[in-house]
Amino acid sequence: MKAILSVEDVIRQAVSSDAYNDIHPGVIRRVCETESRKGLKSRELVKAIRNRLHQIGGAYLPGDVNPAAFAGELAPLPRGLSSPEIQDFCRRKMENHASTRERLPFVEHFFHDVLAGLPPVTSVIDLACGLTPLAIPWMPLPAGVEYSALDMYSRLAKSLQVFFDHFGFNGKAETADIVSAPFEKQYDVAFILKTLPCLEQQGKGLATALVDRVNAKTLVISYPLRTLGGSRKGLGATYESDFNRLAEGRDWQIARFEFPNELVFRVTHS
């Protein structure tokens, strides 16, 4: 006779592999709870949980981002963000995350364009950052800027901390669930890059809830213009209306930027 598995057993089974050990437990818990409310049978539930975790993270990060490898590769390199060897390292590593890889062809002007004309930026929070902090050499940020980077993957966060520490950069990279992480401080700029659709996949209304909670003078919100498979599928129009709904009734000054595969809205509170 087959033993009947409890929902908890199924969840344990779904997330037992190494690929999921690295994800913040808050994200795992929420995904499991959301999927287990759908009344699926054990095998389908395991599959649904794994599919969802893949969709919100694994699909972007097929390989390992490893802090020991970061430390080993960075050790012999110069300590300046503008050195060609460091920029070469950053470009190579950004290839490992689909989202930063897509931005590489225009990384040299992306941050200059979206931050142009702002008062001096002294603090940044980068939400669901992926490997975006590796683009810091191309960001027009003053020396001493405080940079806080959060992502659900712990080896990725540890690798970014190794990167910050190599330069004595004022950065802190943390493993977090941005849905529940407390945001106590006010920042000059919050990057919410290609992240809102990913949050909506974790629960309806989570994108708006994040925007409501973040305390920043300027939000830089972006959306992908292509799927990971490369199709455009009318994504621009869909996300433009998602953003317009998000902006409705808010006292925002909005600047719009369009890059070959990314649509950006810079929002400043009036």
Alpha-carbon gap, residue 248 to 125, rounded angstroms: 24
> What's the closest the beta carbon of residue 117 comes to ligand SAM, in angstroms?
22
Q: Could you say which residues in the range 152-191 bind ligand SAM, by CB under 6 A?
A: 152-153, 176-179
Q: Which residues pair with 150 in a beta bridge?
A: 127, 174
Question: Phi and psi (nearest 5°) for 241?
Answer: -75, -35
Residue type, 42: S
- Site for ligand SAM (CB under 6 A): how many residues? 22
Both structure tokens of 192: 């919410």
221 touches ligand SAM by CB under 6 A: no
> What's the closest the beta carbon of residue 162 comes to ligand SAM, in angstroms?
17
Q: Could you say which residues in the range 28-87 bind ligand SAM, by CB under 6 A?
A: 56-57, 60
Q: CB-wise, 155 or 194, nearer to ligand SAM?
A: 194
Q: Which residues pair with 259 in a beta bridge?
A: 262
Q: Could you say which residues in the range 90-149 bind ligand SAM, by CB under 6 A?
A: 99-100, 128-130, 132
Of the chain, the end-to-end C-alpha distance in Å amounts to 66
Contact 136, 112 (CB under 8 A): no
Alpha-carbon gap, residue 78 to 269, rounded angstroms: 39
Binder among 14, 195, 196, 265 for ligand SAM (CB under 6 A) = 195
> What's the closest the beta carbon of residue 101 comes to ligand SAM, in angstroms?
9
Q: Which residues bind ligand SAM (CB under 6 A)?
A: 27, 56-57, 60, 99-100, 128-130, 132, 150-153, 176-179, 193-195, 198
